[in-house]
Amino acid sequence: MAINPNGRPVPLPDDASAPFFDGARRGELMLQACGACGAWMWPVKPRCVECWSDSVHWRRASGRASVYSFAVMHGDFPGFVSPYVLATVETEEGVRFTTDLAGISPDQVHIGMPLTMVTEQLTPEVAIPGFRPVPA
């Protein structure tokens, strides 16, 4: 497994996911959407999960999201300092995934908390989206 200097696991972008990782580097959250019915998807899907259309393409999402649920990790995990917050986030487009919320202490996070995407540069080559609270 590739790790960065902090020991954090680093994903290996492939052809199918390149638009997502390229977007993260630019500060953009790229998601797949269906050209036929407009459904947004997570993660890479072979066809639209709603209507089975094959016209699935990458679109820039707003990068805005909110906390759907959260949990606090305790223990020894590579590249993370415990305790740290994990959150299932729901993007403005309605898809959900689970990400860490760096820099948020467990007693600050709450369900519904608005978030915005930032670039998280793991290595010189690989960036992923990160999420931060929207400044009040």
Partner 1 sequence: MTATTAIVGLGITDMGKIYDRSGADFAAEAVTQAVADAGLRKSDIDGLLVNGNLWPESQPTLQMTLGLEDLTLCSAMTAAGSTAGQLIQYATMAIEHGLASAIVLLFADVPLKRGVGSGAAYNMLDFWPMTGMSGLRLAWGEFGANPSYALAARRHMHLFGTTSDHFAAIAIGQRRWALMNPKAQIRKPLTLDEYHASRWVVEPLHLFDCCLVSNGAVAFVITSSERAADLRQPPVYVAGYGQGHPGDNQRRGRDPGVHTGAALSGPLALRSAGAALSDIDFLELYDCYTYTVLVTLEDYGFCAKGEGGEFVSDGKLAPGGSLPTNTGGGQLSSYYMWGFTPMSEAVIQMRGQAGDRQVPRNDLCLVSTQGGILNFHSTTILSKSR
Q: Smallest distance, Å, CB 56 to partner 1?
A: 14
Q: Smallest distance, Å, CB 97 to partner 1?
A: 7
Which residues between 65 and 94 bind partner 1 (CB under 8 A)?
A: 68-75, 77-80, 83-84, 86-88, 90, 94
Q: Is 58 in the site for partner 1 (CB under 8 A)?
A: no
Q: Rounded to whole angstroms, how far apart are CA atoms 130 and 64?
A: 11
Q: Smallest distance, Å, CB 51 to partner 1?
A: 15
Q: Is 133 in the site for partner 1 (CB under 8 A)?
A: no
Q: Rounded to whole angstroms, how far apart are CA atoms 93 and 80?
A: 29
Nearer to partner 1, 36 or 77 (CB): 77
The count of residues in the chain is: 136
- List all residues 6 or more positions away from 88 whose beta carbon is below 8 Å from its beta carbon: 67, 68, 69, 70, 96, 97, 98
Q: Tell whether the torsion through CA atoms of 31, 61, 103 and 101 is positive or negative.
A: negative
Q: Is 103 in the site for partner 1 (CB under 8 A)?
A: no
Binding mask 16-55 for partner 1 (x = CB under 8 A): xx--x-------------------x-xxx----x------
Asked whether the beta carbons of 40 and 29 are under 8 A apart, the reply is no
Asked whether the beta carbons of 48 and 40 are under 8 A apart, the reply is no
* Strand pairing report for 114-121 and 84-91: unpaired
Q: Contact residues for partner 1 (CB under 8 A)?
A: 1-2, 8-14, 16-17, 20, 40, 42-44, 49, 68-75, 77-80, 83-84, 86-88, 90, 94-100, 106, 111, 122, 128
